[in-house]
Chains A and B, each alone.
Chain A
Amino acid sequence: MLDKYETHEHDVVIIGAGGAGLRAAIECSARGLKTALICKSLLGKAHTVMAEGGIAAALANVESADSWQTHFQDTMFGGKYLNNWRMAELHAKESPDRVRELERWGAVFDRTPEGKILQRAFGGHTYKRLAHVGDRTGLELIRTLQDKGIHQGIDVYMECTISRLLKDGDRMTGAFGYWRENGRFVVFKAKAVILATGGVGKCFKITSNSWEGTADGHALGFEAGAELVDMEFVQFHPTGMVWPPGVMGLLVTEAVRGEGGILRNSKGERFMEKYDPKRMELSTRDVVARSIYTEVKEGRGSPHGGCFLDISHRGAEYVKRKLPSMYHQFKELADVDITKEPMEVGPTCHYIMGGIKVDADTGATRVPGLFAAGECTGGMHGSNRLGGNSLSDLLVFGRRAGIGAGDYAAGAPAANIAEAEVEAAAAEMTGYFGRPNPESPYKLHIDLQNMMQSMVGIFREEGDLTAAIAKLQEFKQRYEHVAVEEGQRMYNPGWHLCRDLKNMLICSEAIARAALMRKESRGGHSRLDFPKYDSYWGEHNIIISKDGPAMKVEPRETVKVAELAPLVEARKAKESSK
């Protein structure tokens, strides 16, 4: 029946080939399952390559006092206790093994004088904890997994975009997509599907994310019936480039501050003394981003609307060795020699803490056969992610989702796919061609990004959020008219953007609705009209699910783990005594 479309059959199909997707694929194929790894780009180009600073893991190579307990506490404190406790526990306990495993697969980390894996300081981490390779740790991670994966029999499908998940009744049975190269459609049949699609940065104007960060997994999961959690929590990384205009938002690694970089305003004041005198530049990212934003807003910003970040006191040789790509990035793109002069930096949309709600141990969503891992999931980081906790998240939960999906697939019957669903998915994609009164997808995308940046950005308030939700309804109307010219299906980025917009609209609405409901400020969610913590909201996550054509938004009590309570209470007591 489906012979009209190219069809591939697998035990497990993994959508997304960054750190989480690759790690999941390695786990599935190691268990003898027929595994597909689908990448929107070429293999090895996923956004994971942009991760710079390192992988957080309590190896205790540099500071022997470190332990999983302290890492767990730091993660919980960073997330302002809204984290999924079990995820934070598994992450802290298992990340050292994942890092050592990576080394055995060929990753070459920077070394201590004893010849062990070197670890560096990072914001919110009590001890020097980040295993790293200069400032290109993400590249090392993805290349290692890539080279491991391709020799293990994983079927890699490159430059293929999934536009719909396919179900048989309640159960996930596959995915529908198109080849970027020729625009032809393809069907993947699978006993289990893992979403590992990464982030949503392209909903915002100023972002460190690549074009791929279009909320694909968030929206596909939502549409398929999975729940989203913590969507109001968006991380604005404190330090993105602010000049020149073309690179605005490009990431400046936190490792600059980890290596001793100092933030100053236009008056030369080290302003973090005012906002977090204890942790200073290495405070958590939410705090540093808000501090920079406030300095700029109050008229103490740098010439291009940021602040100054200075590492030149560490000496040219040290800077070039420890931060080589930052040195080149500023030298080549901004004519700034960071070994001699300060950088200009400002907040940039970097990461979303919220995402698909999953079981901590297996990565299972509430849809049978659908699993998820990495940035497209929520819970692990609570209201704010610590730097370095993302790469470890990818490895720990990528592996776990691989095991979860693998176990499920091993016991599941063969997948069945309904023809009508496939036809509907195909019609959706061809529907973008030659519509009357066409709306440019590029124009709608820019309008969406500007709106999200100004109304659902670093600081939020009720009036803006209500207006943003109204605006999103208008954008959804306009989306019905986005179109490209008839005919060209080969590698047509305008056509691809049409479909990506749908994902971004769903995700933006989820962010705005959750942000409106949370009447407090916490982590990556700051309300001007509710600037303080609220005790009710300190115990509740916001869950979003599909309710017919509408979006259901509801608070749900945070689930705790009794055995971990003493660790959490001890940390709370320590922080309040400061």
Chain B
Amino acid sequence: MSKRTFVVWRGNKDGGNFVEYPVEVEEGMVVLDAIHQIQRTSAPDLACRWNCKAAKCGSCSAEVNGKPRLMCKTRLDDLPGEEAITVKPLKSFPIIRDLVTDVSWNYTVNKKIPPFTPKKGADFIMQQSDVDRVQEFRKCIECFLCQNVCHVVREHNQKSHFFGPRFFIRVASLEMHPMDALNRIPQIKKEGGLGRCNITKCCTEVCPEEIHITDNGIIPLKERVVDQFFDPVQIVIRKITGADKPQPTE
């Protein structure tokens, strides 16, 4: 059994520092295993979130060697051999303690988005091909890695007028649902700050569920914003056909 050194950020909102821990390495071990070992052997109060340990719940997000990852999915043998492994909390959210951050902003944003609202008389007969895209977005495990890397949040901290990639695809999943009656495009344009995204695809790169956040979610939403607000031909067509009137709901 070999040893590796972990350098883990310890502290709280008032500050902190990196602490070194030696870890006994087993075959196939992931970063979360190492954190658990440190808790068992040398730091019982080391704070970290985790639940399923199977990349299904999205709780154990952290920055491993500077890259935002799920700790339960990051194998030690994929990290360069000799160097120490650094583990820090997500940078974009306020620190609570050690690896745990305050992600409540995300829950606040989610609550602003009007929920699924079926059309009047919706029969819910839907073809698989019509729901494939929606299902892709609904794979999201809310690890908030995309929120963490988005530069609008990370560099410019514009949380008060920006929903972030997680909630752009949440809106996309509702807008593309064949049975949904609402129009959330004005909201995502104004309150959601969709225009602030300049499609650098950082979010897509870190998504552990491999959701095509930018290509399949954000860009189509941007196109809908253009259609509804800036395309004179579309605006006239909607006026004539009445398509811009709200749809009846149940």
Binding site for B on A (CB under 8 A): 41-47, 49-50, 100, 103-106, 108, 110-111, 114-116, 118, 133-134, 136, 138-140, 143, 147-148, 150-151, 158, 181, 210-212, 243-247, 250-251, 325, 328-329, 332-334, 440-443, 446, 484-485, 488, 490-495
Contact: A244 with B27, CB < 8 Å?
A: yes
Note all chain B residues with C-beta closer than 8 A to A211: 50-51
Extra pairs beyond A100-B124, A108-B134 (15, CB < 8 Å): A45-B59, A49-B51, A49-B57, A103-B124, A108-B177, A139-B56, A140-B138, A210-B51, A212-B51, A245-B27, A246-B26, A250-B53, A325-B56, A329-B54, A491-B97
Contact: B28 with A244, CB < 8 Å?
A: yes
Alpha-carbon separation in the docked complex, A212 to B57 (Å): 12
CB distance from B249 to the nearest CB of A (A): 12
Contact: B97 with A490, CB < 8 Å?
A: yes
Contact: B135 with A133, CB < 8 Å?
A: yes
Note all chain A residues with C-beta closer than 8 A to B56: 49-50, 136, 138-139, 325
Alpha-carbon separation in the docked complex, A116 to B51 (Å): 33
Alpha-carbon separation in the docked complex, A352 to B101 (Å): 33
B248 within 8 Å of A (CB atoms): no
Note all chain B residues with C-beta closer than 8 A to A147: 110, 115-116
Given contacts A246-B28, A333-B30, A493-B46, contact A148 B57 (CB under 8 A): no
Classify the secondary structure of B's interface with A. loop
Given contacts A111-B127, A490-B97, A491-B100, contact A41 B107 (CB under 8 A): no
Note all chain A residues with C-beta closer than 8 A to B174: 106
Given contacts A49-B57, A150-B111, contact A491 B98 (CB under 8 A): yes
Alpha-carbon separation in the docked complex, A245 to B47 (Å): 23
Given contacts A247-B28, A329-B54, A333-B73, contact A43 B107 (CB under 8 A): yes
Task: Pick the residue among A244, A328, A441, A491 that contacts B96 (CB under 8 A).
Answer: A491
Contact: A111 with B126, CB < 8 Å?
A: yes
The stretch that binds A, out of B37-45, B191-199, B218-226, is B37-45
Contact: B28 with A333, CB < 8 Å?
A: yes
CB distance from A326 to the nearest CB of B (A): 10
Contact: B128 with A110, CB < 8 Å?
A: yes
Contact: A50 with B52, CB < 8 Å?
A: yes
Closest to A48 in B: B57
CB distance from B47 to the nearest CB of A (A): 4
Task: Pick the residue among A139, A244, A334, A485 that contacts B45 (CB under 8 A).
Answer: A485
Alpha-carbon separation in the docked complex, A334 to B28 (Å): 7
Closest to A140 in B: B138
Note all chain A residues with C-beta closer than 8 A to B96: 181, 490-491
Alpha-carbon separation in the docked complex, A244 to B27 (Å): 6
Closest to A41 in B: B51
Bits for B69-112, please: 1 = Cβ < 8 Å to A, else 0.
00001010000000000000000000011101001000100110
Alpha-carbon separation in the docked complex, A111 to B58 (Å): 27
CB distance from A139 to the nearest CB of B (A): 7
Note all chain B residues with C-beta closer than 8 A to A243: 28
B120 within 8 Å of A (CB atoms): no
B49 within 8 Å of A (CB atoms): yes
Closest to A328 in B: B55
Note all chain B residues with C-beta closer than 8 A to A114: 125
Given contacts A45-B58, A110-B128, A333-B75, contact A210 B53 (CB under 8 A): yes
The number of residues on chain B lying at the interface, defined by a beta carbon within 8 Å of a beta carbon of chain A, is 55
Contact: B40 with A442, CB < 8 Å?
A: yes
Closest to A245 in B: B26
Alpha-carbon separation in the docked complex, A97 to B102 (Å): 38
Closest to B40 in A: A442
Note all chain A residues with C-beta closer than 8 A to B135: 108, 110, 133-134
Alpha-carbon separation in the docked complex, A484 to B43 (Å): 10
Note all chain B residues with C-beta closer than 8 A to A442: 39-40, 44
Contact: A111 with B131, CB < 8 Å?
A: yes
Task: Pick the residue among B40, B54, B73 that contacts A50 (CB under 8 A).
Answer: B54
Contact: A151 with B53, CB < 8 Å?
A: no
Note all chain A residues with C-beta closer than 8 A to B111: 150-151
Given contacts A139-B141, A143-B138, A333-B30, contact A492 B45 (CB under 8 A): yes
Note all chain B residues with C-beta closer than 8 A to A212: 51
B161 within 8 Å of A (CB atoms): no
Contact: B29 with A47, CB < 8 Å?
A: no
Instruction: Name the residue among B54, B97, B141 with the largest chain A CB count within 10 angstroms.
Output: B54
B63 within 8 Å of A (CB atoms): no
B175 within 8 Å of A (CB atoms): no
Given contacts A115-B127, A325-B56, A490-B97, contact A484 B44 (CB under 8 A): yes
Contact: B51 with A47, CB < 8 Å?
A: yes
Task: Pick the residue among B33, B47, B57 that contacts A210 (CB under 8 A).
Answer: B57
Contact: A488 with B45, CB < 8 Å?
A: yes
Alpha-carbon separation in the docked complex, A158 to B106 (Å): 13
Contact: B107 with A111, CB < 8 Å?
A: no
Contact: A244 with B29, CB < 8 Å?
A: yes
Given contacts A44-B142, A143-B138, contact A104 B118 (CB under 8 A): yes
B65 within 8 Å of A (CB atoms): no
B228 within 8 Å of A (CB atoms): no
Identify 22 residue pairs between A and B in the complex whose beta-carbon atoms are under 8 Å apart, listed by A's number.
Answer: A41-B57, A41-B59, A49-B57, A100-B124, A106-B174, A108-B138, A111-B131, A118-B128, A133-B138, A140-B138, A151-B114, A210-B53, A211-B51, A329-B54, A333-B28, A334-B28, A443-B40, A446-B40, A490-B12, A490-B96, A491-B96, A494-B45
CB distance from A439 to the nearest CB of B (A): 12
Note all chain B residues with C-beta closer than 8 A to A143: 138
B139 within 8 Å of A (CB atoms): yes
Note all chain B residues with C-beta closer than 8 A to A158: 107
Contact: A493 with B58, CB < 8 Å?
A: no
The list of the 6 closest CB pairs from A to B, nearest first, reads A244-B28, A106-B116, A494-B44, A115-B125, A491-B47, A246-B33
Alpha-carbon separation in the docked complex, A251 to B111 (Å): 32
Contact: A493 with B57, CB < 8 Å?
A: no
Alpha-carbon separation in the docked complex, A167 to B153 (Å): 46
Contact: A151 with B115, CB < 8 Å?
A: yes
Closest to A110 in B: B128
Contact: B26 with A104, CB < 8 Å?
A: no
Task: Pick the residue among B30, B45, B107, B124 that contacts A495 (CB under 8 A).
Answer: B45
CB distance from A146 to the nearest CB of B (A): 8
Task: Pick the residue among B49, B131, B139 that contacts A136 (CB under 8 A).
Answer: B139
Note all chain B residues with C-beta closer than 8 A to A134: 135
Task: Pick the residue among A106, A210, A440, A490 that contacts B177 (CB under 8 A).
Answer: A106
CB distance from A123 to the nearest CB of B (A): 21
Closest to B127 in A: A115
Contact: B28 with A148, CB < 8 Å?
A: no
Alpha-carbon separation in the docked complex, A402 to B54 (Å): 31
CB distance from B163 to the nearest CB of A (A): 15
Note all chain B residues with C-beta closer than 8 A to A106: 115-116, 174, 177
Note all chain A residues with C-beta closer than 8 A to B50: 210-211
Alpha-carbon separation in the docked complex, A184 to B48 (Å): 18
Note all chain A residues with C-beta closer than 8 A to B53: 210, 247, 250
Note all chain B residues with C-beta closer than 8 A to A495: 45
